Amino acid sequence: MAESAKWYVIHTYSGYENAVRSGIEKFVTGRHMEDQILRIEIPVETVTEVNEQGVSREVERKVFPGYVLVKMIMSDESWHLVRNVRGVTGFVGAANSPIPLTEEEVLAMGMEKHEIEVHYNTGDRVRIMDGPLASFTGTVEEIEPDKNRVSVIVSMFGRETPVDLELDQVEVITD
């Protein structure tokens, strides 16, 4: 059932994001709807602020003030539950038909990450599969799975050139 769950954006009164999240969580547990409303997120970023005296401190700031993201299976019951929480002004989308976020939007916001299996190691010969250097071959110099990056040394115009690519843009060459 979780495959049909999608991310939706809820518009709230400014400053009510945390109250809306806790309100939805209470309703979900009270009505045993954990299988329909899976995650509730308020995207935040850590920012360093410097005051007049030059003192810096780390502060968490909401990325989208006035909005809460919910991963849920849209049904009349789940729609009414979220819609009737105090502080919620509505879903983003048409009046009675919320529009879910696209997969690209979800990935760009970092709400979900796709696991990429890397079948090559440092020193392996690889072929670039897409992008402007598609079909070029090179040697893997460095792999950074947490950043979804691989550095490949490619020979272009008689020179060895390092190229940064995404992990799924290369495949190992089997002889």
**pLDDT per position as a tens digit, 115-130:** 677 888 899 999 999 8
Q: What share of the chain is helix, strand, coil (3-state, %, to 5)?
A: 20, 40, 40
Q: Which residues pair with 44 in a beta bridge?
A: 62
Per-residue exposure over 142-169, b if at least 16 CB sit within 10 Å of its own CB, e if not: ebeeeeeebbbebeeeeeeeebebebeb
Domain coordinates in residue numbering, the chain: 2-109, 125-172
User: What average pLDDT does the segment 87-105 reach?
Assistant: 86
Q: Is the pLDDT of residue 113 over 70?
A: no
The whole-model pTM stands at 0.63
Tell me what pLDDT residue 115 has.
65
How high is the pLDDT of residue 1?
43
C-alpha 92: how far from chain center = 18
Q: Which CATH class is domain 2-109?
A: alpha beta
Q: What is the pLDDT of residue 37?
A: 92
Written out in words, the top-level CATH class of the domain with range 125-172 is mainly beta
Instruction: Examine the pLDDT at 110 and tell me if it is beyond 90.
Output: no
34-76 tens-digit pLDDT: 999 999 999 888 888 888 888 888 888 888 899 999 999 999 8
Residue 46: strand, helix, or coil = strand
Residue type, 163: V
